[in-house]
Structure 1
Amino acid sequence: MTARGARARPRGSPCVVLPYAVADGARNMAVDEAMLELAAAGSTLLRFYGWEPWCLSLGRHQRAPDRLLGRSPDDLRPGVDAVRRPTGGRSVFHGPEITYAFACPARAWGGPRAVLHAVHRALAEGLRALGVPLDEVGSDGAEASFAEAARISAASCFRDPAPGELTARGRKLVGSAQCRRHGGLLQHGSILLEDRQRLGDLDGREFGPDERPGAGVSGKGPAIGLNELLDPVPGRHLIVECLADTVARAFDTPAVDEANASAGIATSPVLIRLAARHERVHRSGAWLWRR
């Protein structure tokens, strides 16, 4: 029997690495929810992905601003994509970025706080290997600061870097959020390639199709992208390969491509079936506009 508070580390259980993919907001969140469901059943999964079209995501309990509406209460304005995350916290504008999602049993590897720190340390290791000049990652008070940063407001998630998060030049590079459900833990977050996060602020901004080219790039805000830190920025697949390796090693698990995963882990048909069910919810106005 494991002593209370001791880490339960299922060494050797494989971390299934899903292939990099690009999708719209509803599908991306549906796949993350499917990962969470599989994690509750004992699987450990990791994926990196992108967004097309670019998308505003709201935290689970965040109020959706009325100005996102189209002609009816169930429609978005033309040219706008928005989604509600299963995780809490504040809004994020998903544009030029690489998003990660890590799902595992909630009681594995020391629990949610330990997973939060382990993923951040692993991402930091991978980013430094690519040449990113990250600030030192502190841990003192990180749990309280993480909760503080997740308070709901009209400001973007990237407006407030917190101790324990990944920053460069004092500005936030990676934003993360967690949720637990039925014994599963999901942590996902954005690794910015460029800073467009002023488009994630809900305090008076208008959202529309003409904001994409060059919008939101100030180089002076609280967020920072890899384009300000590396010249040239490595290709996405090189970044993903490096980060996937460091995350899997951080949890002492062999990384296994989904195509090579055993039938008992997580295969495409299972993931697709679960994601399809969650996608119907994420495409519904009732979920997006809930108060």
Structure 2
Amino acid sequence: MFGAGTCLPLAQWQAEGKRGFVVASAGTSPEQDEADARPFTVNFKITVDGKASTGQLTLPEVDPAAIVFDDRELQQNAQVCDGRVFIVNLAEERGGVLAIGNLKDGALAMTSLAYASGDEDTAEVGFKDGTVVVTDRNGSVRLQESPAAEAETPAHGLVAESVQCEQDAPQGHTWLRLALNTDGGVRSMEYTATMPGGASCTVSAGLAGDEASLSQGKDVTDIRWDDNEDPSQASYMRVSRNGDDYTLEPMRYDHPQFCGQSSQLAETVRLRRGSTTCAAVAWPK
């Protein structure tokens, strides 16, 4: 496979004329009002040895007006890793989203990865130890194939390396996923607590469109949601690490911001690498 084991600029990957990759985007234009707005989408078309594969990725959290590249520039800045992973950087002035297509057995699995950056930098993509590695302001993350299709991820779609767990209890159902950097630090968090009656709480941080800020310390990640009216009341959660164990603690949070009526977050959730069942969940008494 041409380009296996490395990441190549698109122009180099398709220089021989035997391979091709076309990316096109579509979304709301400045002239459209909200009633006519369409979710932003990215379309990939890949041709190898005369066989074409196509894929489409919908990114409702992306504002097309904020992307600093037009379609032609997106094409010029595309990369191909290991001869089969196609990556387009939807860069904004700060941060952005990578649109990722993984070509396997003739099928193209499309996923995305939000990243953080400043005004003068952007995400860097490389290939190391058989894995695509993305580096941004918050560290480096390995991408891994999703083994089976999920609600938002197709089978073989590339996603950030993560640990996750679930647990059922009389107080409610817990689901927690932490995406991890290569050094074990937490890159993003998704947490849902569902009560027996169906009411729920949903928390996410580090994903595209989230307003939370993550700060990394030694074995600790602090997550904050600003409260401009009263900073002392800003929601604040912490993830601490001890070896292969991670513990989420909602230290202080604005209940209506995350939870519906008659629902609550656990006081702590602990999960462990290699286990899909939460190691411990402590509910308020």
TM-score of the alignment, normalized to the shorter chain, above 0.5? no
**TM score, norm. by length of structure 1:** 0.25
- Structure with larger Rg: 2
| Structure richer in helix, relative to its length | 1
Q: With the length of structure 2 as denominator, give the TM-score of the two structures.
A: 0.25
